[in-house]
Structure 1
Amino acid sequence: MNRATKSGIAAEAQSKVEAKYSEQLAAECLEWIAAITGKDVDPNGAMDNFYEQLKNGVLLCEVINALKPGQIKKIQTSSMAFKCMENINNFVDGAKACGVPSQETFQTVDLWERQNLNSVVICIQSLGRKGSQFGKPSIGPKEAEKNVRNFSEEQLNASNAVISLQYGSNKGANQAGMSFGNTRHM
């Protein structure tokens, strides 16, 4: 990475983004990744460690293949930038295929250029909640299950007989004569 250091408004914005990062959630993500992949992962949630563990995307691709075997056909082992970014992009696509909503994913540069590691944590947490769907351990709160209800035509028509005034009435009250504050002078 050969980016100039940010200054002014850009530096303020970046510090706000970094302030959202949670070492505890990042550590939970790394522990889950170790449990899913069986790899030796340092579970320290510090920003530097989290970035170093995941920056080449290999571990992330292995997570997707652990959940959905064969989802990512070829994991790039080269340390060349575009190969690593391809791994990260494959992970994001794989996460979407596993059911992670697109608003909980991240852009490749968020991880590769260390722009927004919090969004990476959010994505892994979201993927972690889906773990139980694939027979693997999961992290975070258990996801709600769909509860579809089917009403009969008779039940649906019964609601048409309800008169809304039966719920209560304001007995003809209105806002006439109410005034708060000063009048508007034009």
Structure 2
Amino acid sequence: MHRAAKSGLAREAQEKVHSKYSPQLAGEVLQWVQQNTGESFNTDGKMENFCDVLEDGYILGILITKLGYTKISASLLSKRQTAPFKKMELVGKFIDGVRALGVDAHNSFQTVDLTDRTNPNQVVICLDALGRKMGTFGVKEAQQNKRQFSKEQLDAGKNVISLQYGSNQGATQAGQNFGCQRHIYEPEKKQ
């Protein structure tokens, strides 16, 4: 989309958002997307290329369907979309699919972050989180490790005084004096 250039505080805010963008991570994410879609495209991590590759939603739609999300119609994925509302619809379906596959909402992005290029870094974060969730990209997510304690173990813990309650051992403030001492005297009585 073509919009007027931002100025003033809006420009400063936009520059701050864009300063967080990592071309290296974006390139790695694009390579992961390429491996999972089988599509051929430029995997350069520069912001302009990243947005050019993904903004129509076609690659994202193919990715999310190959990862198991089935609620995108075949007509949307039959060809690259040219109408802006169709592009936004496809990107929106991708976002729905990401959430359905278990990516947290704070890792997701809004459609305009990609289509209007307002926050491509959030798109990188979303794809990185999707790769982690699928276990095929990035750092492996931690698994839940639920523990069970017996009643005896829980009761034994009640007899331990936690150090959060403080301690009367070690250093104290005895003898510390900050500033001048207060001198108290009685005036002499006149006789």
Same fold (TM over 0.5): yes
How big is the shift at 1:151?
1.1
How big is the shift at 1:41?
2.1
Equivalence for 2:31? 31
Change (3 A) 1:96 1:170: same
Equivalence for 2:46? 46
Name which of structure 1's ranges 98-107 and 170-179 shifts more when overlaid on structure 2: 170-179
How big is the shift at 1:154?
1.7
Counterparts of 1:87 and 1:164 in 2: how far apart (Å)? 55
Counterparts of 2:167 and 2:30 in 1: how far apart (Å)? 57
TM-score (norm 2): 0.82
Counterparts of 1:84 and 1:28 in 2: how far apart (Å)? 24
Equivalence for 2:104? 101
Equivalence for 2:189? none
Counterparts of 2:65 and 2:43 in 1: how far apart (Å)? 20
Counterparts of 1:10 and 1:155 in 2: how far apart (Å)? 57
TM-score (norm 1): 0.84
- Tell me the SS of whatever aligns to 1:62: helix
Counterparts of 1:3 and 1:17 in 2: how far apart (Å)? 17
Task: Give 1 or 2 for the bigger CA radius of gyration.
Answer: 2
Counterparts of 1:175 and 1:32 in 2: how far apart (Å)? 63
How big is the shift at 1:176?
10
Q: Over the residues paired in the alignment, what is the CA RMSD in angstroms?
A: 2.3
Task: Say yes or no: does 1:156 pair with 2:154.
Answer: yes
Counterparts of 2:152 and 2:9 in 1: how far apart (Å)? 61
Q: Which amino acid aligns with 1:64?
A: I
Counterparts of 1:26 and 1:173 in 2: how far apart (Å)? 54
Equivalence for 1:62? 62
Structure 1 spans left out of the alignment, 5+ residues = 133-137, 181-186
Change (3 A) 1:151 1:72: farther
Q: Which amino acid aligns with 1:50?
A: F
Structure 1 stretches of 4+ moved >3 Å: 171-180
Q: Size of the alignment, in residue pairs?
A: 174
Q: Which amino acid aligns with 1:11?
A: R
Structure 2 spans left out of the alignment, 5+ residues = 180-191
Q: Which amino acid aligns with 2:168?
A: N
